[in-house]
Amino acid sequence: MASTFPRFPELPTELRLTIWRLCLPHRVAELDSPDEEDINGEAENCGGCWLTQTSKLNALPPVLTRVCRESRMVAMEHAGYLIDDEGIDVALRDVSPFGTSLADVTWVDKRRDVVHLNWWGWYDGPFNRHMDPIPLWLAAAARAQGASLRTSLLVCELNQGVWDDRREEMTNHDELVRDTTLLVCLRIVTIHAPLQPAAESGLFGLLGDERITLVDATDTARKEQYRAFWEQHGRRPDLNPYRFFTKWSRENEWAQDEAEALETHWLVSRWFKVRDSVADSATAWKKQPEHASEGTISAMDAMEVKEHWTPNREHPWVKDTRTALPKIRPMVMFRLCTTDCHGEREKWGWKNGVDFFDEGYAEQEPLIGYLIPG
């Protein structure tokens, strides 16, 4: 296949503009740095990847802004930095200094991008500036194609509220997310591979500048495309994709179960707030523990709640509440990292970028026949 097209300038203007638009990435625009020490609900460290490097590259303007004047015009039709002169710049400046923020450098295409928030209360930890980034995230998402988040934020802050030191009270965001659709990132998969084959694959944008992307967690065919790319081009060893492609790639039931569990967790939390006023409350649940409190629920993850609670979906309160809840779309986030993170980690005492205290990795049969060097 030819890699050049000398007569491209001779095409009709409308056709050239259409081609430029088709080359633009559909990205996940992160507002903040991901937590490198805790992804997928466990201290996994992405197999030794510094995730923020990918975040910063993904936040830059796309390649088309640097090709020619015409391509730059197309790239900027519906895009720009989050902090600008239109719409929500004041609000952004007001809340951007929360502890993990990248908001001042994030490029967003309103027609193509999804706005993602990695933050949740425990992640901000000692760097907490006591700011609530959820209004920022939802305001930015309203300018784009949707809102994406991790399950921890959905279960904790969105469901139970955020403590605001300035007001000395919990800020509840029920109404902000009412009747919305949220893309919930159930798993994060970081693939270390060179940029050239990544761009040629089309899995990370036609020009390789779609470094963070979301895939429907139940789309087996699409997940298998990433698996095939990793098997052929991924750098070794890489614990994070190894785990995902071994356990989750070819199955979909886990994603449906987790999405249902998240909904049940929301229902239970709402139940404790209104149960005394619910008519015929005894029939709202097909199964529930004999002794439960709002405090015990807040300490449980979604799958634990689902194990003990089963809503009666024919009950009027359950029907009405489910209708008002945000619609959950389970997603998998794939991240392309072109840096040799494993080599860099070795300098700091890691063995091939993998923490070998993780016994399960060494015990499993390698997915495509590679062995961990001794």
pLDDT tens per residue across span 251-265: 889 999 999 999 998
Domain range enclosing 244: 25-132+190-252+331-363
Task: Write out pLDDT tens, residues 138-171.
Answer: 888 887 898 898 887 777 766 665 545 554 555 6
Q: Please give the pLDDT value at position 302.
A: 84
Cβ atoms of residues 5 and 92 within 8 Å:
no
- Whether 17 is in a domain gets the answer no
Q: Which residue has the tokens 């391509």?
A: 71
- The pTM (predicted TM-score) of the whole model is 0.81
Strands, sheet with 114-117, edge to edge from the N-terminal-most edge strand: 28-30, 114-117, 147-150, 181-192, 327-337, 212-216
pLDDT greater than 80 at residue 23: yes
Residue closest to 95 by CA, chosen among 111, 114, 112, 82? 82
184 in a structural domain: no
What is the pLDDT at residue 62?
A: 93
Lowest mean pLDDT among 234-238, 275-279, 305-309: 234-238
Please choose, from the candidates 145, 139, 103, 137, the residue with its C-alpha nearest in 3D space to the C-alpha of residue 120. Answer: 137
Q: Is residue 350 part of a domain?
A: yes
> Does a cis peptide bond (omega within 30 degrees of 0) precede residue 237?
yes
Q: Does residue 373 lie within any of the structural domains?
A: no
CA distance 104 to 28: 16
- Copy the structure tokens of residue 28: 């996940």
Residue 326 domain flag: no
Q: Are 36 and 45 in contact (CB under 8 A)?
A: yes
89 in a domain, yes or no? yes
> Model confidence over 93-145: pLDDT tens digits?
444 445 556 655 678 898 999 999 887 666 554 444 456 777 778 888 887 89
DSSP state, residue 9: G
Most confidently predicted of 35-49, 240-254, 306-320, 330-344: 306-320
Mean pLDDT taken over the chain: 78
Vertex 266: Cα angle to 265 and 270 (nearest 5): 120
For 60, 127, 144, 260, 269, the CA distances from 163, given in Å and listed in that order, are 32, 15, 27, 27, 17
Report if residue 145 sits inside a domain.
Answer: no
pLDDT at 200 exceeding the cut of 70: yes
**Is position 174 within any domain?**
no
Q: Are 96 and 129 in contact (CB under 8 A)?
A: no
CA–CA distance, 115 with 131 (Å, rounded to integer): 19
Least confident interval from 29-43, 104-118, 285-299: 29-43
Would you state the pLDDT for residue 112? 93
The 3 state secondary structure assigned to 32-58 is ECCCCCCECCECCHHHCCCHHHHHHHH
Query: How many structural domains comprise the chain?
Result: 1
